[in-house]
Amino acid sequence: MQTKLTISLLLIALAIYLLYRFRVILSPMVLAVILAYVLSPLVNALQHRLGVRRALATLITYLIVLAVMVALPLVITPVLVAQFTGLNLNLQRFLLAIEEILGHRFILAGRVIDLDELVQQAIGSLQGFMEPVFGQTLSLAVEVITSVVWVIFILVVVFYLIKDGPALRDWLEKIVPPAYRDDYIRLRDEISVIWAAFFRGQLVLALVVSVIFTAIGFILGLPFAFAMGVFAGLMEFLPSIGHGIWMVVASLLALFGGSTWLPLPNLAFMLIVIGLHLVYQQFDLNYLIPRIIGRSVQLPPLVVILGIVTGAVLAGVLGILLAAPTIASARGLGRYVYANLFDLDPFPVIEAVSRPPPNLRWWRKRLPGQRGDLKKETEDA
CA 279 to chain centre: 20
Rg (CA), the chain: 29
**Nearest-angstrom CA–CA distance, 260 and 268:** 14
pLDDT < 70 stretches in the chain: 1, 73, 76-77, 79-144, 239-240, 349-381
Q: What is the pLDDT of residues 127-160, one digit of tens each?
A: 565 555 445 555 656 666 777 788 888 888 888 8
Q: What is the pLDDT of residues 319-356, one digit of tens each?
A: 777 888 888 888 888 888 888 888 788 777 644 444 44
Q: Are 35 and 158 in contact (CB under 8 A)?
A: yes
Structural domain boundaries of the chain?
A: 26-73+103-175, 177-348
Element (H, E) at 119: helix 115-135
Rounded Cα gap, residues 3 and 96, in angstroms:
80
Q: From CA 197, how far away is CA 203, in angstroms rounded?
A: 10
pTM for the complete prediction? 0.65
Which pLDDT value is given to residue 142? 66
Tens digits of residue pLDDT in 187-221: 988 888 888 888 888 888 899 999 999 999 999 98
